[in-house]
A and B are shown apart, each in its own frame.
Chain A
Amino acid sequence: MANKDFLEDPFLHNYEDYLMSVWGRNPDRHPSKGPAWSCVRETMGPGESEGFLVPGSVGGLSYPSTEDQFSTRPCSPTPRLFPKRSHLRCPRPPELSLLRRHPPELSLLRRHPPELAGQWSGAQAGRRRGSGSSSTATAGRQQRQQRQERQHINSTAALAKRAYKSYAKALPGLKKLGISSVLLRKIIGTLEVSCGVVLTLVPGRPKDVANFLLLLVMLAVLFFHQLVGDPLKRYAHALVFGILLTCRLLIARQSEERPEREETREQQVNAEEKNKVKVSYDRSLRVAENERKKSEAEDPFLLALKYFSRVEDGTPWKGNDVLERHVAVVERLALSQGLPPEAIPVLLDFALSLRMGTTLCVRMLKILIPASVVPQDAVIQGVSWLCVGKMPIGTQVMFLRWLLTVFDLIDSKDQLRAIYGFIFSFVTEESLGRQPFLMHLLALYKVFSPELVTLSFPSKMKSGFKNHNSTWKAALSSVQRRNNVEVASDLRLTFGVREQPVSKKRKMNSHLTVPAVSSLPLRVSSSKKALPLEQLRAFPQLLQNLDRIELPAQMGSMLGSSLALHYMDCLRDSSAFLRLNFWLGHALHEEFLFCREASSQNMEEAARFLNTLISTQRLLQEGFSSTEVFLYRFLRVWDGSLLRPQILALLSDISVVPSSRIKVLLFEPLMQLFFTSSLFFKCSVIECLNSMLLKWLTWHSVYALEDELDISVSSQTPVNMTLSGLMDSVVELVQFVGRISTIGLQLEGYHTLLLSFTLDFYETVCDMYLKYDLPLVLMPPAGVFYPALLSTSPVSVDRLCHIMHRYRTNLVSAKRQEKQPEKPFHISRKTYREFNQYVVSMVSCLWNSRAFLPGMGIELGEDVLARSKVSEYWSTFNLIHHPAFMSCAIDFHQKCWPERKELDLNSIKVGKRWDWYTEFLFSQGFHGIKEFVQSSFSRRSSIKETGNDLQ
């Protein structure tokens, strides 16, 4: 009986027949012949194939996995790099600051070269006058100087020559060295000119060197003057110039002693150098050294902090570049990320101590924007500075306003409360006057604690608080939004913290603001012990009071708090969910369907809202029904690009759609979008449907109850979804994906990316029975199978092999299940036939080189094959000649015959080499092929054994 059954099964019957015929003809190629095969067979019996691969991680090959394919795509610029480097960039051109810093130097450099010439000519003219008879004649000629300038120059040159001659004579050692007067004159002249040029034009260290050289030259000149015995009048100029040079050098050296100052100058120099084409060798060495020094040096912000904590009282702030730089560093950090808590006391202390004057105090207060919290000590210290009494009123007011702005961010207020008496007396009685921004606050305080506020208020005050500190608040909120953390970690779980302030107009129009959690005091609660949700502060408290928590007045507010969401997770009140759905549906409809206006800010807000919604649904592990209703309507008007990631993520969360409606609600709008959009949209749609299917299957495997045996009736409502109803929907979905991916692949020219996403989907489909316990096996359509089989990407072929292996495993266990009487489960013969045909195609293509031959799966007309002009077309898709594996074959060929010059891939097919080659492929990470080969081909022996037993 069993035997007959077995033989009639088209799947096994066909298969064995086929394999026998194949191996009978080709004994060499029998894959399970070698020792490697048999050994593998022992470990992998047919019953042991329980484990399956994690999708997307077959072997060492990296597939584009479903999760990170698109999430990683929009590559955001890494923000870490910029702050580190940005301090290199100077706030203004470096040359300018350099010049400003050394005004005397500038004038010196500009003035001296012409002066130098005059000085020399004067000195030498004087000397010539007192030396011999010819000099008097020259002096007489010189009286008509205006008309004979050229002659004058010539004569001064002649005089200089003579002076040098006397120098050379006075120092006999020069003669011995071979330095004539001409050479001496040239050396000194060249040195002067070149050093002067360097001193004028080149900043940095060469300037100092030139300065030094020039000073030496001056000393030498003075020495010569002394040697000759010139009167002081003659060398006074040289003396003054020498002194000037000395001073300049001293000043330059002094500034170099301050390391940080030097460093920035170097940096400025570096920055400048980058623009210069010509960089000398030693300079580039120095640049490298500076880089090293800089990397060792501290963070500029810490340096700034150190500076502000140590800076002495009375340091001038005007023209203080060091200060400017540090302030700039602090400002940049404050406005971009906010200041860390430990920096605030330092900076506040610096500002309020007025160590560098009021202007700087105000400036510092303006940029004192905390990143997270303000330490209490800093505030108390600040208040204590108020008592010192040297602070002008304006600054005191400024400090108070700052204090009010950051009041909510002070980490603890116990000590601060202790000095409230002082603060109030200060605010009300000191010379502060009546500050408009304080009046309302004080008036309000007077109601609560009249003993603290002694001021009397005018009876008719204009109502309302004006926003006095809007710039601070704006900066603060932007910093906080950027840091993406709510004020403090312990506050994050609670409900007090609201989103950033929204402009009033927007608030009126916006529907996407999550309301604040509050309960109604006047509503009659069921029990007196009830605990309003907004009073919850921590998770343990939630656990303790789980049974007496009162829901908020507005259910929508629960979306804004993670604690509330945890509570919602265990909530079974259908009214509460209905309220939530009304709110959510209203918000979504108003924002996306009924509302016409759309701006970039709205989009940002909308994306944030949808992301909150997505994370909520992920936490609860199911979608809200109002989201579904919204999505079904929105899909009809969606352009496929607006908020695509969010919409698709929400779409993948929808619950099982009854098969009668699925086409109208889901498939028709999706199909329109799919066929008219780009490749990437197609991929993301397939990905979305894959994750939808995964969620349905998971839902099935988790929620399925055993006690209700209702298969036949399908009252297709979400509440009473039956097994058959679910199966119908799953079949519809899988067939839909089969259709659109077939056409999509054709449209996109069998793009590997789309193929990969499609195979992802079928990796889910092929395991529906074993992994998710859904008695359903659905084969991929030919439009997906053959493109994957004949794909040029080895990854696709490998994954197809893996999928076929999983199909086989599922079918085999389904077959076994079929025989058990208690749970009858039938898979149609058509499925088996389809599977067998695919296996035959694969084996004939990849292993047996019998592709396109009759009865081998894919068949093509003779004329078509002839037109292709490929002589041995049957072997073009075996593992050696397959376009996906050709490179592996060549690789293998080179490893086998490294000395061979010509390529003969057919030689791989011969004898043992085929087995080696397949082993080589497995070692390359093609685990899918390995699985397929091992599971499919090892059947032979077991079939044989059963055959023997039956005989």
Chain B
Amino acid sequence: METRLSATATPRNQTAPHRSSKSYGFSRRSLGVELTSRLGCTPGQLTAVRIPTNRGIPKPRNITEQVDPEHIALIVKKEWKLSYVTPLYQFGHTQLQSYSRQLAAFLAAEKQQGVAVEVGQELGFKVVFTAVLGLAETDDDAETVLIQIHSKSAFAAEGEAAKLTWSGWLSCVSGDVEYLRSMPPDFTCLPLFGASGAESLTTLVKSWFERTFDCYFGPLAINSTNLEWLAALWTGCHPDTNIRYLKLAWTIPAQPPLDVSYTVHPQDAWELWNSIRQESGLRDTVDIEEVSCFIKGLESHLFRHFRIYLSAGTLTKVSTTLGSAHQDGKIRITSSDMMTSVLALLTECALLKMPV
């Protein structure tokens, strides 16, 4: 805040008389670009550089030791609608209590907009902000924040407990270290937002966050490449946890549109994946080529039987018992074992959407 005080004279005025020069002073245009300049690359190159072509092999691990099982239970088995969030300004994990109150008041005010609200009235909303500790993978990741909204219906009987009507979380798991480190301390980067519940409440919560932390939400679609990654990732887990099935859905842009649902026996899928892995020599990392090879194998199998080129369409959905992911940004994580890897992948998707 103090830096503002020194800003009465613009740099232009200071330097106008000095003509012949060698270097340039600190101009305002650079404010806010530090983020990118610290990364050592120019704007516009930022995201192109960060798209990874290989990843470490995900190891299913039991995270219940680090994370409160209650919190995990709240996250798994729900379908989440995903969004990306620009970094939050002046967000503090220590002030979650105060945020709970503010959000509850905001919701009440918005819901009853235009109606005279008497002071001291029961608000009808109860909001709980919880920090889910232990989900962060690196030191730079901010801890995940879980938001629950309980509300009483208008016709609820006296003394009836408020029901959980909406829940959501903000998360960052294994985010790009360089990007996170370049963030000024005022900002908290929690790029991934999942919401489950009424759409109207989602909109209200988003607008509260936008007003309070000057951050902005946008829908996060999972493109087919990432769906392929997920398919490979889940298939790779088969020996450890039985995935039961690998279900893939394509949309072919034919007239009329053709939806292809393709279920593979888990053992067959794993054998295909394993053979590809064997061929490329069992390294610690998985290449994007291996993933696309896996999907191509599945596609050519279908072509052999039905004469349909799946590569002409787009992959829209991938599901196993471990979870499911849809192209339009809906995801369900059923097993806590693979949660971190999936969240890491999604965090990466969300960071790719960052405007700066």
Q: Is the interface of B mostly helix, strand, loop or mixed?
A: loop
Q: Interface code B21-41, partner A: CB below 8 Å = 1, 0 otherwise?
A: 111111111111111110010
Q: Which residues of A contact B115 (CB under 8 A)?
A: 440, 443, 461, 463-464
Beta-carbon contact of B6 and A520 below 8 Å: no
Beta-carbon contact of B356 and A626 below 8 Å: yes
B5 lies within 8 A of chain A by Cβ: yes
Beta-carbon contact of B18 and A706 below 8 Å: yes
A338 lies within 8 A of chain B by Cβ: no
B307 lies within 8 A of chain A by Cβ: no
CA distance A526 to B5 in the complex (A): 12
B210 lies within 8 A of chain A by Cβ: yes
B72 lies within 8 A of chain A by Cβ: no
Which one of A314-322, A426-434, A546-554 is at the B interface? A546-554
CA distance A701 to B15 in the complex (A): 9
Give, as a whole number of angstroms, the nearest-CB distance from A596 to chain B.
Answer: 11
Give, as a whole number of angstroms, the nearest-CB distance from B20 to chain A.
Answer: 6
Known contacts A461-B115, A702-B15, A708-B23, A625 near B1 by CB under 8 Å = no
Give, as a whole number of angstroms, the nearest-CB distance from A938 to chain B.
Answer: 29
Residue in B8, B113, B210 whose CB lies within 8 Å of A546: B8
Known contacts A523-B90, A703-B25, A577 near B3 by CB under 8 Å = no
Known contacts A577-B32, A625-B32, A718-B33, A569 near B22 by CB under 8 Å = no
A-B residue pairs in contact (CB < 8 Å), sample of 28? A463-B113, A464-B115, A526-B2, A546-B8, A547-B5, A554-B210, A554-B211, A555-B214, A570-B10, A575-B184, A575-B187, A579-B89, A582-B87, A582-B216, A582-B354, A583-B86, A586-B86, A624-B29, A625-B356, A655-B29, A699-B24, A704-B15, A706-B18, A706-B21, A718-B43, A720-B23, A723-B21, A773-B20
CA distance A48 to B169 in the complex (A): 72
B138 lies within 8 A of chain A by Cβ: no
Q: Which residues of B contact A575 (CB under 8 A)?
A: 89, 184, 186-187
CA distance A54 to B51 in the complex (A): 49
B203 lies within 8 A of chain A by Cβ: yes
Known contacts A575-B187, A717-B37, A585 near B118 by CB under 8 Å = no
Q: Which residues of B contact A632 (CB under 8 A)?
A: 43-44
A152 lies within 8 A of chain B by Cβ: no
Known contacts A508-B203, A577-B28, A719-B30, A710 near B43 by CB under 8 Å = no
Q: Which residues of A contact B90 (CB under 8 A)?
A: 523
CA distance A628 to B20 in the complex (A): 28
Beta-carbon contact of B7 and A572 below 8 Å: yes
List residues of chain A with CB under 8 Å of any chain B CB.
440, 443-444, 446-447, 461, 463-465, 508, 511, 515, 518, 520, 522-523, 526-527, 546-547, 549, 553-556, 569-575, 577-590, 594, 620-626, 628-630, 632-633, 655, 657-658, 661, 665, 699-706, 708-711, 716-723, 726, 773, 823
Q: Which residues of B contact A549 (CB under 8 A)?
A: 4
Beta-carbon contact of A522 and B21 below 8 Å: no
Beta-carbon contact of A723 and B12 below 8 Å: no
Beta-carbon contact of A705 and B25 below 8 Å: yes
Known contacts A581-B355, A629-B43, A704 near B12 by CB under 8 Å = no
B218 lies within 8 A of chain A by Cβ: yes
Beta-carbon contact of A520 and B355 below 8 Å: no
Q: Which residues of A contact B34 (CB under 8 A)?
A: 574, 578, 719
B:22-76 near A, CB below 8 Å: 22-37, 40, 42-46
B285 lies within 8 A of chain A by Cβ: no
Known contacts A574-B32, A710-B22, A554 near B214 by CB under 8 Å = yes
CA distance A588 to B218 in the complex (A): 12
CA distance A380 to B1 in the complex (A): 49
Q: How many A-B residue pairs have CB under 8 A?
A: 227
Q: Which residues of A contact B28 (CB under 8 A)?
A: 571-572, 577, 620, 622
Known contacts A578-B356, A594-B218, A665-B42, A571 near B114 by CB under 8 Å = no
Q: Which residues of A contact B102 (CB under 8 A)?
A: 522
Beta-carbon contact of B211 and A582 below 8 Å: no
What band does the interface of chain B fall in when counting residues whose beta carbon is under 8 Å from A?
35 or more
Beta-carbon contact of A625 and B33 below 8 Å: yes
Give, as a whole number of angstroms, the nearest-CB distance from A508 to chain B.
Answer: 7
Residue in B25, B86, B114 whose CB lies within 8 Å of A444: B114
Beta-carbon contact of B4 and A718 below 8 Å: no
CA distance A169 to B170 in the complex (A): 120
Beta-carbon contact of B32 and A717 below 8 Å: no
Chain A residue, CB-CB nearest to B186: A575
Residue in A440, A570, A658 whose CB lies within 8 Å of B42: A658
Beta-carbon contact of B37 and A463 below 8 Å: no
Q: Which residues of B contact A625 (CB under 8 A)?
A: 29-30, 32-33, 36, 43, 356
Give, as a whole number of angstroms, the nearest-CB distance from A709 to chain B.
Answer: 5
Beta-carbon contact of B24 and A518 below 8 Å: no
Chain A residue, CB-CB nearest to B5: A547
Beta-carbon contact of B212 and A626 below 8 Å: no
B11 lies within 8 A of chain A by Cβ: yes
Residue in A553, A578, A665, A709 whose CB lies within 8 Å of B184: A578
Give, as a whole number of angstroms, the nearest-CB distance from B329 to chain A.
Answer: 12
Beta-carbon contact of B42 and A586 below 8 Å: no
B19 lies within 8 A of chain A by Cβ: yes
Chain B residue, CB-CB nearest to A466: B114
Beta-carbon contact of B22 and A706 below 8 Å: yes
CA distance A444 to B89 in the complex (A): 35
Known contacts A554-B211, A585-B355, A702-B15, A622 near B3 by CB under 8 Å = no
Chain B residue, CB-CB nearest to A508: B203
CA distance A661 to B46 in the complex (A): 12
Q: Which residues of B contact A461 (CB under 8 A)?
A: 115
Give, as a whole number of angstroms, the nearest-CB distance from B6 to chain A.
Answer: 7
Chain A residue, CB-CB nearest to B355: A585
Q: Which residues of B contact A586 (CB under 8 A)?
A: 86, 216, 218, 355
CA distance A701 to B22 in the complex (A): 11
Give, as a whole number of angstroms, the nearest-CB distance from A635 to chain B.
Answer: 9
CA distance A774 to B21 in the complex (A): 9
Beta-carbon contact of A622 and B356 below 8 Å: no
Q: Which residues of A contact B7 (CB under 8 A)?
A: 570-573
Beta-carbon contact of B211 and A628 below 8 Å: no
Beta-carbon contact of B356 and A582 below 8 Å: yes
Q: Which of B12, B26, B216, B218 has the most CB of A within 10 A?
A: B216
Q: Which of A440, A527, A575, A720 has the most CB of B within 10 A?
A: A575
Known contacts A582-B356, A703-B15, A709 near B218 by CB under 8 Å = no
CA distance A574 to B114 in the complex (A): 38
Give, as a whole number of angstroms, the nearest-CB distance from A661 to chain B.
Answer: 5
B311 lies within 8 A of chain A by Cβ: no
Q: Which residues of B contact A527 (CB under 8 A)?
A: 1
CA distance A227 to B22 in the complex (A): 120
Give, as a whole number of angstroms, the nearest-CB distance from B28 to chain A.
Answer: 6
CA distance A569 to B7 in the complex (A): 9
Beta-carbon contact of B15 and A578 below 8 Å: no
Q: Which residues of B contact A526 (CB under 8 A)?
A: 1-2
Residue in B32, B89, B98, B353 whose CB lies within 8 Å of A624: B32
CA distance A579 to B2 in the complex (A): 17
B112 lies within 8 A of chain A by Cβ: yes
CA distance A549 to B12 in the complex (A): 22
Q: Which residues of B contact A629 (CB under 8 A)?
A: 36, 43-44, 46, 355-356
Known contacts A578-B184, A594-B218, A623 near B29 by CB under 8 Å = yes
| Other contacts beyond A461-B115, A577-B32, A625-B30: 16, CB < 8 A | A447-B117, A464-B115, A511-B218, A520-B211, A571-B7, A575-B184, A578-B34, A578-B184, A582-B355, A583-B86, A658-B42, A661-B45, A705-B24, A706-B20, A706-B21, A720-B23
Beta-carbon contact of B211 and A518 below 8 Å: yes
B156 lies within 8 A of chain A by Cβ: no
Q: Which residues of A contact B37 (CB under 8 A)?
A: 717-719
CA distance A826 to B146 in the complex (A): 64
Beta-carbon contact of B35 and A578 below 8 Å: yes
Q: Which residues of A contact B23 (CB under 8 A)?
A: 704-705, 708-710, 720-723
Q: Which residues of A contact B24 (CB under 8 A)?
A: 699-700, 703-705, 720-722, 726
Chain B residue, CB-CB nearest to A823: B20
